[in-house]
Amino acid sequence: MTEVTRADISAAFKAAGAVQGDTVMFHGSLKSMGHVQGGATAVIDGILDASSPGGTVAAATLWYNGNPEECKKEDFDVATSPTWTGLLAETLRRDPRSLRSNSFSHSVSAIGSRARELTERHGEGRPFPSPWSEQSFAEISPWSKFYQWNALYAFIGVDMNSCTMKHYIESRFVAELLDQLPPERYTEFRSQIAMDCRSILWIFYPGAKMRPRLEEKGIVTKVPLGDTTLMTIRTRPLVEATLDILRAEPENWCTPEFASWLSRVKAARLS
């Protein structure tokens, strides 16, 4: 098993594109790297080193588990509710330096120069559709800021099925379709798809299947990190390339039921 140090983490993130002042968002598996000296905190500090001075490190500290029977959104406490996304994210959330955004479904925790700016006011501004709430991926949310800031989006030993940003992309894809409707048909079509944690219909495109398509475009970087691979992509090309693919060939990325909703939207747009 490879021994991995904070300096190794920093070197790998620099090789994978992190620069001074960057915002780095990650999903990861601690044990995939080998044995990390200093554990999860050394990983977080290594990422901060790679983006210092002025860097920010962030992770998805999701709490809601998708089951409204056992997980009531009113029970979410931004200060204490643990995340299920693994030890790296949970360690970041519990770090005394860390700030956390207030979203029962898609909270982000961050440390560093832009941590406050990243995590504050989650859910404000224009609401956007999502199966959880219209605030989860709102105009003002860490997910929108990752896109606007073109954050470095990283996967440590995990594939793009872990990519929470994909729900932001889905949200923008669905919003774009709804926006094309005559205003008087909006509510009718919105009510036919998932909302408020009720799963009706949604375009859950498979993230791992999308990865090779993004790799083909030359926008994915891979570097070795201990026993695993660190994969990174800039958030703006991630969002824009994926949206282009979804728009061009939606039938390859959604269920027949969602495809049928999509054709009804298109018909209503023309009527």
Ligand X SMILES: CC(C)(COP(=O)(O)OP(=O)(O)OC[C@H]1O[C@@H](n2cnc3c(N)ncnc32)[C@H](O)[C@@H]1OP(=O)(O)O)[C@@H](O)C(=O)NCCC(=O)NCCS
Per CB under 6 A, residues contacting ligand X are 27-32, 35-36, 39, 60, 85-88, 158, 162, 164
Q: What does each C-alpha distance from 138 to 57, 114, 133 come to in angstroms? A: 21, 19, 9
Place of tokens 């693919």: 245
User: For residues 30 and 44, which CB has a smaller minimum distance to ligand X in the complex?
Assistant: 30
DSSP 203-242: ----HHHHHHHHHHTT-EEEEEETTEEEEEEEHHHHHHHH
Q: Which residues contact 136 (CB under 8 A, 6 or more apart)?
A: 103, 105, 106, 123, 130, 143, 167, 171
Supply the minimum distance, in Å, between the C-beta of residue 57 and ligand X: 14
User: For residues 8 and 265, which CB has a smaller minimum distance to ligand X in the complex?
Assistant: 8
Supply the minimum distance, in Å, between the C-beta of residue 28 and ligand X: 6
User: For residues 60 and 99, which CB has a smaller minimum distance to ligand X in the complex?
Assistant: 60
Supply the minimum distance, in Å, between the C-beta of residue 84 and ligand X: 8
User: For residues 32 and 52, which CB has a smaller minimum distance to ligand X in the complex?
Assistant: 32
Q: Which two tokens stand for residue 17?
A: 């594109």
Supply the minimum distance, in Å, between the C-beta of residue 89 and ligand X: 6
| Closest residue to ligand X: CB criterion | 86
User: For residues 59 and 265, which CB has a smaller minimum distance to ligand X in the complex?
Assistant: 59
Place of tokens 């941590």: 115
Supply the minimum distance, in Å, between the C-beta of residue 59 and ligand X: 7
Distance from C-alpha of 263 to C-alpha of 18, rounded to nearest angstrom: 41
